[in-house]
Amino acid sequence: TRYFAIVPAAGSGSRMGAEQPKQYLALCGKPLLWHAIAALAAVPRIAKVFVVLSPEDEWWESFDWSTFGTRLQVLRVGGATRAQSVSNGLSAVAGQVAAEDWMLVHDAARACLSVAQVDALIDTLAEDPVGGLLAVPVADTLKRADGAARVAATVARDGLWQAQTPQMFRHALLSRALAACPGVTDEAGAIEALGLAPRLVAADATNFKVTYPQDLALAAQILHARST
């Protein structure tokens, strides 16, 4: 059984309000996507990192990816949704990945992923019958809003976790799950729809998804603190 990573990076990143797609925003002199790939490529057990780009992507070529060599392979098969991009990527690599091989699906926007977190995920799930994902228990009190930004209810946070990535499932199971459930916002959601229960592996908040412009400064601080 081998381990592969797949990074869907075919989004437009509209919430960032920037001209370039979010995955290409600069963080410590490199695109966000570069950092996400670097974290995965630094894990010796991961045989290869696949990146799913939009067929119309015009940004990739303007950066230098040579440091990753043959451990990185580009797939220009992105789809209309994240789930579609992952699903297309899984089909595109079917010739070089076995049905039982593990696929670690990771957001391009989670640039602060650490090798220790990936190791913890793989160590916990290597013998798991289903697979699972990095996640953190919810710390804040949660409010459900009515249509006018007033509190309609307080949601009990016991047992609630925030899903992160990587999410790790075997190639055949994940392909089948995403084909049956193309509307999901993460891979675990598709696995759950098959009636299976993915395992939650406790991570930490540094593996957050860069979503808003102010997130870039925080991400830079986290990376800087790690390199000193």
Q: How many CB atoms lie within 10 A of CB 196?
A: 15
Round to whole Å and give the CA distance between 218 and 223. 9
What values do phi and psi take at 159, rounded to 5? 75, 5
- Asked if residue 31 binds ligand C5P (CB under 6 A), the reply is no
Stretch touching ligand C5P by CB under 6 A, among 4-12, 113-121, 145-153, 189-197: 4-12
Nearer to ligand C5P, 9 or 27 (CB): 9
Judge contact between 108 and 33, C-beta under 8 A: yes
- Asked if residue 76 binds ligand C5P (CB under 6 A), the reply is no
Stretch touching ligand C5P by CB under 6 A, among 106-114, 129-137, 140-148, 196-204: 106-114
- Asked if residue 88 binds ligand C5P (CB under 6 A), the reply is no
Round to whole Å and give the CA distance between 128 and 189. 17
- Please pick, from the candidates 108, 134, 184, 188, the single residue that binds ligand C5P as defined by CB under 6 A: 108
N residues, the chain = 228
Which residues partner with 155 through β-bridges? 142
Which residues partner with 48 through β-bridges? 4
Give me the residue whose beta carbon is nearest to ligand C5P.
11
Supply the minimum distance, in Å, between the C-beta of residue 1 and ligand C5P.
Answer: 26
Supply the minimum distance, in Å, between the C-beta of residue 209 and ligand C5P.
Answer: 6
Interacting residues with ligand C5P between 117 and 146 (CB under 6 A)? none
Tokens representing 198? 């993915």
Helix (H, G, I), strand (E, B) or coil at 213: coil
Nearer to ligand C5P, 11 or 198 (CB): 11
Supply the minimum distance, in Å, between the C-beta of residue 56 and ligand C5P.
Answer: 11
Angle among Cα 155, 112, 107 to the nearest 5 degrees reads: 70
Nearer to ligand C5P, 128 or 192 (CB): 192
- Asked if residue 8 binds ligand C5P (CB under 6 A), the reply is yes
Q: Which residue has the tokens 């995920």?
A: 121
Nearer to ligand C5P, 82 or 170 (CB): 82
Give the contact letters, 32-71, x = binds to ligand C5P (CB under 6 A), - = no.
--------------------x-------------------
Candidates 215, 214, 177; CA nearest to 194 is 177
Helix (H, G, I), strand (E, B) or coil at 174: helix
Which element (helix H / strand E) includes 186? none
Q: Which residues bind ligand C5P (CB under 6 A)?
A: 8-11, 23, 52, 78-82, 85, 107-109, 209
